[in-house]
Amino acid sequence: MTILDVVKGATTVLGMDVPTLVYGATGREMVEMQELANVMALEIARAHDWQKLLIPMTFTGDGVADAFDMPSDYRRMQKTSSLWSSRWLWATTHLTSTDEWLELQVTPIATVNGYWIIFGDQFHIWPVMAASETVRFFYVSNLLVAAGDASKKAQFSEDTDSFRLSEDLLKKAIIYRWKENKGLAYEQALDDYQDQLLRCMDDDAGSKPVVSGRAPSSWRGKGTAWPGTVTGAA
């Protein structure tokens, strides 16, 4: 479904004239639709770590560099992201305080863990990675739109573009926000959008295993139990 089809569906519900052109149109309503489609696509993208937008990334050390440029399509980290190093048996620690980062640089202690932070549009990793050492992680891409030639881009700009996530969800988002912007009753349209958003989020990760018995609150940081029997020395 193209963005033109999405807007046609929205305008039908909104009681507007159904357009034959959106991007390239100069009438006020369609200019507003052009902006609204991109705004609501971004709102949907921010609501969840959609699997279609997740990209794996690997940084490889050279023994010198402690800073690595962000990918060109980087939007943000996953909400529960970790950087996993080939040096350590556990995830590296994310620092959000620049003071904590500077403390690592000036305090003469040997670290027993890896650390990372983002500033200056770069990832910074400490200690400096040795040659061939790697860190791997997933990030969220900003390429929300598929063009007619199958390339990906950040925003709609042509009627043949399509949303990489749910087009029906985008249509509902446009409807509710249009009504809100125009001072119309939008509460039911907002409820419809939010219900659909929750369903899409629930469906996005695929099947969910059924766990028998009382599951732990979190598996993060827990390993698999040794299946054998441990006995003392004779």
pLDDT tens for each residue of 179-214: 999 999 999 999 999 999 999 999 997 766 655 555
DSSP state of 74: E
For residue 7, name the pLDDT band (cuts at 50, 70, 90): very high
Amino acid at 87: R
CA angle 23, 27, 32 (to 5 degrees): 65
Burial class (CB in 10 A: 0-12, 13-18, 19+), 11: buried
Per-residue pLDDT, averaged over 12-37, amounts to 96
Instruction: Give the pTM.
Output: 0.82
- 189 is written with which tokens? 């349209």
Are residues 8 and 22 in contact, defined by beta-carbon separation less than 8 angstroms?
Answer: no
pLDDT at 185: 97
Per-residue pLDDT, averaged over 209-225, amounts to 54
Pairwise CA distance, residues 85 & 216, whole Å = 26
pLDDT at 213: 55
Where along the chain do its domains lie? 3-49+165-204, 53-141
pLDDT at 207: 64
pLDDT at 109: 75
pLDDT at 233: 55
pLDDT at 93: 93
The dihedral of CA 156, 161, 167, 171: what is its sign?
Answer: positive
Pairwise CA distance, residues 123 & 69, whole Å = 6
Could you please report the per-residue DSSP string of 93-149?
EEP--HHHHHHHHHS----SS-EEEEETTEEEEESPPPTT-EEEEEEEES--EE-TT
Decide if pLDDT at 224 tops 90: no
pLDDT at 67: 96
Determine what percent of the chain is predicted with pLDDT higher than 70.
88
Average pLDDT, the chain: 90
pLDDT at 79: 85
Per-residue pLDDT, averaged over 143-161, amounts to 97
pLDDT tens for each residue of 71-112: 999 999 998 888 999 998 889 999 999 999 999 889 877 778
Alpha helices per DSSP H over the chain: 3-14, 28-46, 98-106, 167-181, 187-204
Decide if pLDDT at 2 tops 80: yes
